[in-house]
Amino acid sequence: MLYKKHVFICTNQRPAGGRVCCGEAHGMELVAAFKKQVKARGLQSEIRAQRAGCMETCELGPSVVVYPEGVFYGHVQLSDVDEIVTEHLQNNRVVERLRLTDADFSKLPWKKG
């Protein structure tokens, strides 16, 4: 495996008047903040943070997913980046207060029916 962990941050944009899009809030700022933290801690050879397109969790966003665990985080703010990097990326402890659960996913409009 090239990286121990891979962080994808939604930066998707949709035309005005359509479905909410979590990347519009501050997707690129989140990407920059994750990259800055990873670099500042000397983790760039182990961890990759990058922008991503839609992850279909728009109503729960801004969304971030960490692989290989497949942990989705929702409602991520710039102030949460340090905690995710320290706890999850460095210490392998999921930040439960931000973790999206099956109950959260079941509320997505496209999952109903």
User: At residue 45, does pLDDT exceed 80?
Assistant: yes
31: nearest Cα among 51, 61, 54, 52: 51
**Res 23 pLDDT > 80:** no
Give residue 112's pLDDT. Answer: 65
Confidence of residue 106 (pLDDT cuts 50, 70, 90): very high
The separation between CA 34 and the C-alpha centre of its own chain, rounded to angstroms, equals: 10
Q: Is the full-model pTM beyond 0.85? A: yes
Question: Are 66 and 7 spatial neighbours (Cβ–Cβ below 8 Å)?
Answer: yes
Predicted local confidence at residue 82, as pLDDT: 98
Q: Provide the terminal-to-terminal Cα distance of the chain, rounded to the nearest Å.
A: 38
- Name the CATH architecture for the domain at 5-108: 3-Layer(aba) Sandwich (3.40)
Q: Supply the pLDDT for residue 113.
A: 53
Alpha helices, H only, the chain? 23-40, 81-83, 102-106
Domain boundaries, the chain: 5-108
- Between 24 and 47, name the one with better pLDDT: 47
